[in-house]
Amino acid sequence: DQQVKQNSPSLSVQEGRISILNCDYTNSMFDYFLWYKKYPAEGPTFLISISSIKDKNEDGRFTVFLNKSAKHLSLHIVPSQPGDSAVYFCAASGLQGAQKLVFGQGTRLTINP
Amino acid sequence: NAGVMQNPRHLVRRRGQEARLRCSPMKGHSHVYWYRQLPEEGLKFMVYLQKENIIDESGMPKERFSAEFPKEGPSILRIQQVVRGDSAAYFCASSPFPGVSNSPLHFGNGTRLTVT
């Protein structure tokens, strides 16, 4: 029962272009969504979040879009930089708040110079 | 380093042995969460603890796994009689306040358990 799905295991983007990572969820009770970035042998690092009352949140080069009717969210990184190469996890939470998270399987982003 | 500290970073155990994983939360954080990441999968919630209390253990396997967060000292995740399927990365996270949407979890670098 995969409630949060990231259907692309990997993505390769040229430096300077836009990276778009996608995430779908099935549980309509989720009301808070987060993106985490993870480098090898390190823990996940919080990147950006969005509440279900919004459809967009922007922080520098990172923008998260939420489409509640489609139960879909996406992370846009522009412009992409080599240091963005990492595994990106989408996560969702419900009434318990931002701590009891349900994670997707992750998408490995590679930025090519 | 004021971050979430986990040790050991790597732990090798033979089948049937016990594994003890330690987590010290960020300074000022009194809420600890344990997550497990199996190979090629996302992280899965295991347990949520406050000092001396288990708040939510809905993600913990029913047998062999236990967790504690004593009044003094780190949080401990204990796995008894380990099996090969326990091989995974175990991440601890902490938060100053529970249930607050603008307080995302801060994760440690994990303990990689290998069962031989």
State yes or no: pLDDT of A98 exceeds 70: no
Please give the pLDDT value at position A111: 98
State yes or no: pLDDT of B1 exceeds 50: no
Contact between B81 and B66 (Cβ < 8 Å):
no
Retrieve residue A11's tokens: 């993505």
Retrieve residue B55's tokens: 């708040």
What is the CA B103 to chain-centroid distance, rounded? 19
Over pLDDT 90: what percentage of chain A? Answer: 85
Residue B113's pLDDT band, with cuts at 50, 70 and 90, is: very high
Say whether residue B107 is in contact with chain A using an 8 A CB cutoff. yes
Cα gap A31→A20, rounded to integer Å: 22
Residue type, B55: I
Residues of chain B with Cβ-Cβ distance to A43 below 8 Å are: 4, 91, 93, 107-110
Q: What integer is the mean pLDDT of B29-43?
A: 91
Residues B47-80 pLDDT 10s? 999 989 998 999 999 999 999 999 999 999 999 9
User: What value does the mean pLDDT of chain A take?
Assistant: 93
Residues A26-42 pLDDT 10s? 999 898 999 999 999 89
Question: Which of A97, A99, A104 lies nearest to residue B42, judging by beta carbons?
Answer: A104
Residues A57-80 pLDDT 10s? 999 999 999 999 999 999 999 999
Please give the pLDDT value at position B27: 87
Please give the pLDDT value at position A39: 95
Strands (E), B1-116: 5-7, 10-13, 19-24, 31-37, 43-50, 53-56, 65-68, 75-79, 88-95, 106-107, 111-115
Kindly determine whether residue A44 and residue B91, on different chains, have CB atoms separated by under 8 Å: yes
State yes or no: pLDDT of A12 exceeds 90: yes
Cα gap B87→B81, rounded to integer Å: 12
Q: Give the nearest chain A residue to B107 (CA atoms).
A: A43
Please give the pLDDT value at position B29: 85
Task: Please report the sign of the dihedral spanned by the C-alpha atoms of residue B53, residue B57, residue B62, residue B65.
Answer: negative
